[in-house]
Structure 1
Amino acid sequence: MKRKGGGAGAGPTTAATLGLVRAGIRFVPHVYEHDAAATDFGAEAARELGVDAARVFKTLMVATDAGFGIGIVSVRDQLDLKALAGALGAKKAAMADKAVAERKSGYVVGGISPVGQKTPLDTVLDDAALEFETIFVSGGRRGFDIELAPGDLVEVVRGRVGRIRRG
């Protein structure tokens, strides 16, 4: 990591960056021009930042029979709902409604960060993230990603690691 997050020129201030600064987690902000016509936000981030899609992770909210939860998987992969349900201690899971995800997270779809969510939820990071020194996740708005160590992400969201991708 190059520097501690926050401070002048560090990118936008969001609930995610504030949470990282408060926790003393090192991160690097990355801002890019978001295309309003884009619908695959993770692929757009990888392309615009010039980063392998395997290192860019999407934050997905699910509804389970035990409540809501968060799964974080690489944009190159698909979430295995059954695996995430099991990791969350539930029997089944389905993608949460977009309006619910926005309300619970405090972020807009395409900019939902795992950090600084309005309603903290049980969170699982896919174990593929451990292959990298750093990964990229949304910084809390479209066109803004934060780069940080996978272990630091798990620490700040009080989550855990598990295999939750398909395949």
Structure 2
Amino acid sequence: MSKKAKKQQHGATPAVLALEKAGVQYTVRTFEHDPEVENYGDEAAAALDMPAQQICKTLLVDLDGGPHDGRMGVTVVPVTMMLDLKGVAAAFGAKKAAMADPAAAERSTGYVVGGISPLGQKKRLPTVLDAAAASEPVILVSGGRRGLDVELAPADLVTALDATVAPVSRADLHR
């Protein structure tokens, strides 16, 4: 049996395999996902006893104009924040950015909403890590399925994804 098949047999997701390939340090953190819960970030923070600002969501955006015109981009922001689409457009050098259709995001990444990881996607997309997340000592991002997160240093995520860091979030007034 090949090494890859053996790892996948033990439940490693493409995200975890991507971290292994990148050679960065990470910790897998799991919890029992409640299918009734729709706020995956708050669920993860409570279940893993982590500050919510260290739990990040992966959001895909459609980019209009600039070097990524007509493509999607990936943003990683704390679950306590909202995406600032003007900041996103500026970070990607686009004229405009809009939230990607969830079904298109799932097709592009190979993951389901609530479990979309910035790592191990079917097609590597340009990625921006929010400056607020980059300032944390560690962050958690989805490991590729609901109830599976990976904890790592923000700088290691940037390295693994060849991502940029930019202010792409704003306060969530509904929290």
TM over 0.5: yes
Alpha-carbon distance in structure 1 between the residues aligned to 2:160 and 2:60: 17
Query: 2:142 aligned with 1:147, yes or no?
Result: no
Report deviation, 1:12: 3.7
Tell me the SS of whatever aligns to 1:35.
Answer: coil
Alpha-carbon distance in structure 2 between the residues aligned to 1:157 and 1:117: 10
Mark the runs of 5 or more structure 1 residues left unpaired by the alignment.
1-6
Structure ID, larger Rg: 2
Within-5 A mapping of 1:108-127: 108-127=112-131
Question: Which portions of structure 1, spanning 4 or more consecutive aligned residues, are displaced by more than 3 angstroms?
Answer: none
Alpha-carbon distance in structure 1 between the residues aligned to 2:84 and 2:29: 28
Report deviation, 1:124: 0.3
Report deviation, 1:147: 0.1
Report deviation, 1:85: 1.0
Alpha-carbon distance in structure 2 between the residues aligned to 1:121 and 1:88: 11
Query: 2:41 aligned with 1:32, yes or no?
Result: no
Mark the runs of 5 or more structure 2 residues left unpaired by the alignment.
1-5
Tell me the SS of whatever aligns to 1:166.
Answer: strand
**Matching residue's letter, 1:155:** T
Alpha-carbon distance in structure 1 between the residues aligned to 2:135 and 2:90: 23
Query: Could you give the per-residue CA deviations for residues 125-151 of structure 1, whole angstroms, max 9, x where no partner exists?
Result: 001123222110000000000000000
Alpha-carbon distance in structure 1 between the residues aligned to 2:97 and 2:22: 30
- The TM-score, its normalising length taken from structure 2, stands at 0.87
- The TM-score, its normalising length taken from structure 1, stands at 0.91
